[in-house]
Structures are given as structure tokens and as C-alpha cells.
A and B are shown apart, each in its own frame.
Chain A
């Protein structure tokens, strides 16, 4: 069930009606039932996959909890000294680790099979000369709930959080319909306590949530779905295009992906706000970032913090990494220790980020591209500071800030050239075609209108991108949602109606037109 469908609108109205009528202490049951219905709409076989995974996660989380409870009990009984306690802790950590590995193997195994099964079988078929095909079921939102579940289990293993005692509540956490399709990748310890304090939505909560949803629908239906027509048209016929059209396509592609993903996040966050469950923020106006690391702290934030907490920190604090860092620092020099500590974990993170986005070589190269940029910017930071001082560059001026912001945006757009075309070969062709000619006349010879968007659509696209940038820019300085909510009723509803009519008039929908799937749904 797409978030952009009449069926979903009906589903939401039914949910809210039942939700309001349900006593507060059972509201989470209503959410669970409706989330199961929502998920079952994607296929009962997929629901079974998720139920199986949730049973494993629940069982193992309880086992991990039991191991550490026993450790506490033994410590209380024996009153061990520091050395003894350390040895005891190691014994129990090993026990906990055994259960953890089992769960990680199941969760990550299913995810890897769903993501890499088809390309792996394709490779085996090519190598053996025999056809190996199998119908792979990909559960809805698989990588999002898998990542959340893995983080939850690791947190229990590290004793950062307690395991949930109720299976239905844990299941609700995994299947909660606003975050199951494309995130945010929630921390269960932040979501679970909220299920115990659910209340009926107030008028203010309803308005604030609906306001955010409306902005999300505007981004998705007016901007993203419009730009996707142009981008898919050009990239679907790379050989026939050349020159600046690819620059425009990549610029449109950047706003398409941003409007699509952040639009979906606004829709689901708005729904969840109405329900009364606060979801983690996934975007913080990334196009205003001044460096590559900052960009990735503001784009798909929950994926970035997941990789930081569960890959970057464990790799950097692992014993082998510690040994490698000390060896490099002692035998080569202090800078080598720093370089090892920067490069090794960041390489792991970016390789995994690349693979998470897709299995083709272009995604691996894209991951390496960002990895190199971020490692270089971290390692060269001191040197860049020294150079700019020597060149008397005013780093606190507005011009420098603008230069940095545009540079970061350009780096993002250049990276898209690797992943928006369907594979590496197409990406290389697109790069070649971009530089094959210089044709600025496309801006006035009307040829831009031959790619699925006519003059009116192009105007709507450009103006709505400008509006998106203006609103994002305002949000950098103030809380726009609160500011609108504080205005008098006439102005406030004028803005809301303008938004509703903008979506109805300029949105891409209607008979014979399927709304585009959300880009990040495929992950």
C-alpha cells in the first residue's frame, strides 16, 4: 500500500477513528493490528518473513538479557574483586556473544540473501554455464527493520538498553507502519516507551502533523514525481543525449532524490506525530552543508548514526585496530597512527554504505568516492587550515560559506552521475556524453521540453525547487512550522489551502498515471 494512494488515505482515516475510540492503554494494540494489515497488503509471504525475524530477535534479546541478569546475580553473591569481576564479565560476554552471533547470522543472512541472492546466482550461472534461478521474496522495508533490530540486539549485548518483555510490543516496534517502508531507522529504546503513553490526538497535534504531511506530499507529488519524468527520460536514452542536458539531469536528479526521500519522511513523521510517536529526524537541510562530512551528518541521519554506532565505533575500538594504530604510530610516525585510525573504519563504513545502496559496481565506486572525500577532508583539515591562513582567505565571511556550500552540493551532484544511471557502463557513457559537446543553446532553443516535461511543467519544477530551497533556508534560522501555527487563522488557513491546491493542481497523479514508488523503498 503506497503512502500516495486513496487506499492509504482510507486506511489512515479508519485507523484514526478506531485509535481515538480505543482506550489509551490499548492504543498500541490498535497500532499493531493496523500495522499488520498495512504490512500484509504487501504480501502474506513477506509478513511471514518479518514475523519469523521478529521471533528470532525477541528470543535472542530475552536470552541476552538473561545472561546479563545472571552475571549481576553472580556478582552480587560472590562480591568479586576488580580482576575477578573482569574475568567473570569476559565469560558472560562470550555467552552473550554466542546468542548474538546466531541472531546476527539470521537477520543479516536474510538481508544479504534478499539483496545479493539474485546477482550471486547470476554469477554462479555464468560460471557454471547452468541456469540457476530462484524466486527471491524481498520483505517490505527489510533493510530498515533489520538494521533497527541489529542495533537493538547490539545495545542489549553492550548493556546499553534492557530487552523488551512483551513480544507484541517488540513486533509493533519492528512493523510500525510509518517507519517500516523506508525508515527512519529507529532506535527501539526510543520508540518502545512511547507505546505506553499513547493518547488521542489533540487538535494542535492533528494540525501540526497534517501540516508536515502536506509539505511532504508537495515535495513528493509536485517536485519529485515531476523531476523523475525528466531524469528517467534522459537516462533511459543516454546514447541519444549529450552535453549540458546531463548537467541539468543531475541537478534535477539531486532535487528529485532529496524531495522524494525527505518528502516521504515528512509524510510518515507527520502521521506519527498525529499518533503521538516521535520518530527520529532523517534530514536536516543537507544542501546547506559546508563540507562532505557535514553533508552526511544531515542526509539520511539515522543511517549515518547507525553506521557510526554499530560499525565505526566498534571497528575503531576493536583490539586489532588498537594494535594496528599503536604499531603504525610507533613504527612509522604519529601521523600514521592517525591515518590508520581514520582510513580503516571510514573505508569499512563507506564500502558498506555503497553496498547498502545497491549491488552494482557503480554503487561500490560511489561508496569509495565518498569514503575518499571524507577521509581526505579529515586528514587534510589541519593542512587546509594552514594554507587558507597563508593565502589570507577569510574563513568567517559569507562568500567563503557560500563557496563551501556550493562545493559540497557539486560533490553530491557529481556523485549522482555514478548511481542514477542503471549500471556502471551507463554511468561511464553518461560521463563521456556530458563532456562530448558544449551546447548552452539548449536553454533557449526549446529542446529541453522534449524530455517528458513541457514548458508549464518545467516552470512548475523550477519554481517549486526554488520554494523548497527558500523553505529549507528559512528552517535553518527558525521553526517554520511553529511560525505558521502561530499566525492568525486567516493567514494560517490561506497557507494550508494554498498547499492543498498546489498538490491537487500541480501534483503528478490522476487516471492512467501511477505515482512513482519512493526511491528509497527499494532498499
Chain B
């Protein structure tokens, strides 16, 4: 699963794999459109639904947080 998530992130921006900060949008690693692209790719790949309320810094701040969110949502 982790590999699939990292592939999705790398498709948008390689820098996401090495980024160590906590807010990839504020740090201009991705813009809001790219963030939405990541969300829709994750939804399609893992058959999950991510609501607006879940689009937070805690869930989408960096790759580790995204992986943790998807694991939580898929029950892994």
C-alpha cells in the first residue's frame, strides 16, 4: 500500500518523497489543485471517500501523514 501511495505522490511532485516539513501546501511543495489531484487519485486507488473535513494539515501535511490516514481509512 505504501508503495502505491508514494507512486501517486511522486507522480504529482518528486519532492514530496523527500519533504520533511509538516505543511506541504504552505511550504509550496504542492498547490491546492495538486492536493485535490492527490486526493482523487487516493480515492480511486483505494476506493475510499475523503471528506472536506479530513483535508487538514494533520492528515495531508506530508507523506507520512497521508500514509497514516489511508491506513486508518482502509482499516489496515
Question: Contacting A82 at CB < 8 Å: which of B39, B55, B75?
Answer: B75
A165 to B56, CA, bound (A): 23
Given contacts A308-B32, A316-B36, A342-B33, contact A326 B44 (CB under 8 A): yes
A426 to B52, CA, bound (A): 41
Query: What 0/1 readout, one digit per residue, does chain B (31-57) give for beta carbons within 8 Å of chain A?
Result: 111001101100110000111111110
A500 to B23, CA, bound (A): 40
10 contacts between A and B (CB under 8 A): A158-B51, A308-B32, A312-B36, A316-B39, A316-B40, A317-B51, A319-B49, A322-B40, A338-B37, A345-B36
- Please determine whether A317 and B52 come into contact, CB atoms closer than 8 angstroms: yes
- Please determine whether B49 and A313 come into contact, CB atoms closer than 8 angstroms: no
Question: Does A160 have its Cβ within 8 Å of any Cβ on chain B?
Answer: yes
Query: Using a CB–CB distance below 8 Å, which chain A residues touch chain B?
Result: 82, 157-160, 293, 297, 308, 312-314, 316-319, 322, 325-326, 337-338, 341-342, 345, 378
Determine the residue in chain B with the shortest Cβ distance to A310. B52
A293 to B36, CA, bound (A): 15
- Please determine whether A313 and B36 come into contact, CB atoms closer than 8 angstroms: yes
B44 to chain A, nearest CB (A): 7
Given contacts A82-B75, A157-B53, A293-B31, contact A317 B44 (CB under 8 A): no
Given contacts A325-B40, A326-B44, A341-B40, contact A317 B55 (CB under 8 A): yes
- Please determine whether A317 and B50 come into contact, CB atoms closer than 8 angstroms: yes
Q: Closest 3 CB pairs between A and B?
A: A158-B53, A314-B52, A316-B36
Query: What 0/1 readout, one digit per residue, does chain B (10-25) give for beta carbons within 8 Å of chain A?
Result: 0000000000000000
- Please determine whether B49 and A312 come into contact, CB atoms closer than 8 angstroms: no
Question: Contacting B52 at CB < 8 Å: which of A158, A297, A337, A342?
Answer: A158
Chain B residues whose C-beta falls within 8 Å of the C-beta of A308 in the assembled complex: 32
- Please determine whether B32 and A312 come into contact, CB atoms closer than 8 angstroms: yes
Chain A residues whose C-beta falls within 8 Å of the C-beta of B55 in the assembled complex: 313, 317
Chain A residues whose C-beta falls within 8 Å of the C-beta of B37 in the assembled complex: 338, 341
Given contacts A313-B52, A314-B52, A317-B55, contact A322 B31 (CB under 8 A): no
Chain B residues whose C-beta falls within 8 Å of the C-beta of A326 in the assembled complex: 44
Query: Using a CB–CB distance below 8 Å, which chain B residues touch chain A?
Result: 31-33, 36-37, 39-40, 43-44, 49-56, 75
A157 to B44, CA, bound (A): 26
Determine the residue in chain A with the shortest Cβ distance to B43. A322
Name the residue in B36, B37, B50, B51 with the highest tally of chain A Cβ atoms < 10 Å from its Cβ: B36
Given contacts A317-B39, A342-B33, contact A322 B49 (CB under 8 A): yes
Chain B residues whose C-beta falls within 8 Å of the C-beta of A313 in the assembled complex: 32, 36, 52, 55
A341 to B51, CA, bound (A): 15
- Please determine whether B56 and A160 come into contact, CB atoms closer than 8 angstroms: yes
Chain B residues whose C-beta falls within 8 Å of the C-beta of A293 in the assembled complex: 31
Chain B residues whose C-beta falls within 8 Å of the C-beta of A342 in the assembled complex: 33
Chain A residues whose C-beta falls within 8 Å of the C-beta of B44 in the assembled complex: 326
- Please determine whether A341 and B36 come into contact, CB atoms closer than 8 angstroms: yes
Determine the residue in chain A with the shortest Cβ distance to B39. A317
Determine the residue in chain A with the shortest Cβ distance to B73. A82
- Please determine whether B53 and A159 come into contact, CB atoms closer than 8 angstroms: yes
A305 to B37, CA, bound (A): 18
Chain B residues whose C-beta falls within 8 Å of the C-beta of A322 in the assembled complex: 40, 43, 49
Name the residue in A313, A325, A341 with the highest tally of chain B Cβ atoms < 10 Å from its Cβ: A313
Name the residue in B36, B52, B53 with the highest tally of chain A Cβ atoms < 10 Å from its Cβ: B52
Chain B residues whose C-beta falls within 8 Å of the C-beta of A338 in the assembled complex: 37
Name the residue in A293, A316, A322 with the highest tally of chain B Cβ atoms < 10 Å from its Cβ: A316
Chain B residues whose C-beta falls within 8 Å of the C-beta of A157 in the assembled complex: 53
- Give me 11 other A-B pairs in contact (C-beta within 8 A), A313-B36, A317-B39 excluded: A82-B75, A157-B53, A312-B32, A313-B32, A313-B52, A316-B40, A317-B50, A319-B49, A322-B49, A337-B40, A338-B37
A38 to B53, CA, bound (A): 36
A215 to chain B, nearest CB (A): 25
Determine the residue in chain B with the shortest Cβ distance to A160. B56
A403 to B49, CA, bound (A): 42
Determine the residue in chain B with the shortest Cβ distance to A319. B49
A96 to B61, CA, bound (A): 26
A312 to B36, CA, bound (A): 9
A159 to B15, CA, bound (A): 30
Determine the residue in chain B with the shortest Cβ distance to A297. B31
A157 to B49, CA, bound (A): 18
Chain A residues whose C-beta falls within 8 Å of the C-beta of B75 in the assembled complex: 82
B2 to chain A, nearest CB (A): 21
A157 to B43, CA, bound (A): 22
A396 to chain B, nearest CB (A): 17
Chain B residues whose C-beta falls within 8 Å of the C-beta of A297 in the assembled complex: 31
Chain B residues whose C-beta falls within 8 Å of the C-beta of A158 in the assembled complex: 51-54
B48 to chain A, nearest CB (A): 11
Chain A residues whose C-beta falls within 8 Å of the C-beta of B50 in the assembled complex: 317
Determine the residue in chain B with the shortest Cβ distance to A316. B36
Name the residue in A159, A317, A318, A338 with the highest tally of chain B Cβ atoms < 10 Å from its Cβ: A317
A166 to B54, CA, bound (A): 27
A345 to B31, CA, bound (A): 15
Chain B residues whose C-beta falls within 8 Å of the C-beta of A316 in the assembled complex: 36, 39-40
Chain A residues whose C-beta falls within 8 Å of the C-beta of B43 in the assembled complex: 322
